[in-house]
Structures are given as structure tokens and as C-alpha cells.
Amino acid sequence: MQVEINVNGKARKAEVEDRTLLVYFLRDTLQLTGTHVGCDTSSCGACTVHLDGGAVKSCTLLAAQADGCSVTTIEGLAIQDTPTTMQLHPLQEGFKECHGLQCGYCTPGMIMTAADLLKRNPTPSEEEIRFALEGNICRCTGYHNIVKSIQWAATHTTKPEPNQQEEPIDADKHLFTNDVTTGEVVETH
């Protein structure tokens, strides 16, 4: 089937199999390989992206379900000034500043989840941060510095998120979220 998905501000049209998961559409079709796959049970959050502004696990969603939606991946989080220079998102700065990553594999998912949290709750407590990261596994850092990175970002000016504000996608507004208990993606309206 054909899908049209706005990814990082660009409309992307492609032919996909019905069963293609959004994460493979991003990784294989668009070669946006910053979104990772860490599990096959919707448990690790390495694949987290924003769908119409909210964090979802892109391994838990068919590309077809994202048809007509707008997706932001880790590649679209910074503001690209020129082809070779960019302004990092405060969370990206925070992760670097506070050594919130080691191998970097969980990092895109962590940052996307955290960006969603800070949007909903700009001044989260340590407990709220830890709770928000419940669906994301990091095997390297012990989370200590990830928590600090998010706290750092929360106290530094949040620059506008580039792709959230531009070209509202034509299709009807879907809102998706990950059900906290099952990890499944549910449509909220």
C-alpha cells in the first residue's frame, strides 16, 4: 500500500507492505537509522519517535497507521541551520553535558521520550523523570546521568521544536499514545 507521512517536516510518500512497522519504514525505506530497534516486545523504547507531537514506540505501530501523520525522529530534533551546522535541542545538549549516553543505542529513544515529557511537564521532579522513562531501557548508564541530562535540559532554555510547529499535516488529527501497562499503541481520539 502507499503511505504519505510527514517526516521531520518533509512529506514522504512510499510503497510499503501492509505489515511494515513504522520503525522499518523509517530505518529501511527512508534510511533514517537514528531510530533503533532493541527488542521485539515493545519493551525497550529504543524506537521512540514523535507521532503528531507525542512519543510513541515506532515498533508498535504499522507504517499504515501513521499514514497522514507527522513524525519527528531524532534526526529532526535539532534545528538545521545549514547543511553542516545545527542548533541542538536542549536535551541533546543535556545528554552531552551530563554524560547521559555511553554506547548511544538507547539514546535517540531516551531523548524523544524525554522531549515528550518536558513538553507535558517542563519542570519534572526526579521521580517524574524516572517514571516517564519506565518504558525505555538503557543498559549502559544506570540511568543516573540520563536523569541528570533531563534535569539539565529542563533548566536550560527550550528552543522551539522545529517540526512540531511547521506545516500542520492535512489529514485528520490522530493522537497516539503508548498504553503504560501493555506498551501497546492506542489511538486516543
Partner 1 sequence: MSNKFIGQSIKRREDKRFITGKGRYTDDIVLPGMLHAHFVRSPYAHARVSSIDLDEAKAMPGVIAIYTGDDLADVNGVPCGWQVNFRDGEAMREPKHPMLIPTGSTAKHVGDAVAVVIAETKDIAIDAAELVMVEWEELPAVAAPADALLPDAPKVHEQFPDNKAFDWTFGNPIEEVDAAMEKAAHITELEFVNQRVVPNAMEPRAYIGSYDETFDKYTLYTSTQNPHLIRLLMCAFVLGIPEHKVRVVGPDVGGGFGSKIYHYTEEALVTWSSKQLGQPVKWTSDRSEAFLTDAHGRDHATKAEMGFDADGNILGLRIKTVANMGAYLSTFAPAVPTYLHGTLLQGLYTTPKINIDMTCVFTHTVAVDAYRGAGRPEATYLLERLMDLAALEMGRDPAELRFQNFIPPFDGVEQPGYQTQVALQYDSGNYEAVLKRGLEMLAYDDFRKEQAEAAKTNKILGVGFSTYVEACGIAPSAVVGSLGARAGLFESAQVRVQPTGKVSVFTGSHSHGQGHETTFVQVVADKLGIPMDDVDLVHGDSDTIAFGMGTYGSRSLAVGGSAIVKSIDKILEKGGKIAAHKLECAEGDLEYAEGKWTVKGTDKSISFGDVALTAYVPHIYPAGLEPGLDFSSFYDPANFTYPFGCHIAVVEVDKETGKVTLKRMIAVDDVGNVINPMIVDGQIHGGLAQGIGQALFEGTIYDENGQLTNGSYMDYCMPRADDLPMFETDRQVTPCPHNPLGVKGAGEAGAIGSTPAVVNAVIDALWSAGHKPKDILMPLTSERVWQAMN
Q: Give residue for cell 527550550.
A: 158
Binding mask 104-133 vs partner 1 (x if CB under 8 A, - otherwise)? xxxxx--x--------------xx-xxx-x
C-alpha cell at 188: 486516543
Rounded to a whole number of angstroms, the minimum distance from the CB of residue 139 to ligand FES is 5
Q: Which does 59 bind (CB under 5 to 8 A by kind): partner 1, ligand FES, none?
A: ligand FES
- State which residue, 51 or 59, has the beta carbon closest to ligand FES: 59
Q: Can you tell me which of 11, 87, 99, 121 binds partner 1, judged by CB under 8 A?
A: 99
Rounded to a whole number of angstroms, the minimum distance from the CB of residue 57 to partner 1 is 12
Separation of alpha carbons 123 and 141, rounded Å: 22
Separation of alpha carbons 167 and 171, rounded Å: 11
Q: Is 162 in the site for partner 1 (CB under 8 A)?
A: no
Q: Is 79 in the site for ligand FES (CB under 6 A)?
A: no
Q: Is 79 in the site for partner 1 (CB under 8 A)?
A: no
Q: Given CA atoms 35, 38, 43, 45 in this order, what sign does their dihedral have? A: negative
Range in contact with partner 1 (rule: CB under 8 A) among 63-71, 135-143, 155-163, 169-177: 135-143
**First vs last C-alpha separation in the chain:** 24
CA dihedral 13, 19, 24, 26 (to 10 degrees): 20
Rounded to a whole number of angstroms, the minimum distance from the CB of residue 96 to ligand FES is 13
Q: What is the DSSP letter of 37?
A: -
Contact in structure between 115 and 90 (CB atoms under 8 Å):
no
Separation of alpha carbons 46 and 88, rounded Å: 20
Q: Is 43 in the site for ligand FES (CB under 6 A)?
A: yes
Q: Which does 32 bind (CB under 5 to 8 A by kind): ligand FES, partner 1, none?
A: partner 1
Separation of alpha carbons 189 and 176, rounded Å: 8
Q: Which residues bind partner 1 (CB under 8 A)?
A: 17, 19, 27, 31-41, 43-44, 46, 73-75, 77-78, 86, 88, 92, 95-97, 99, 101-108, 111, 126-127, 129-131, 133-134, 136-147
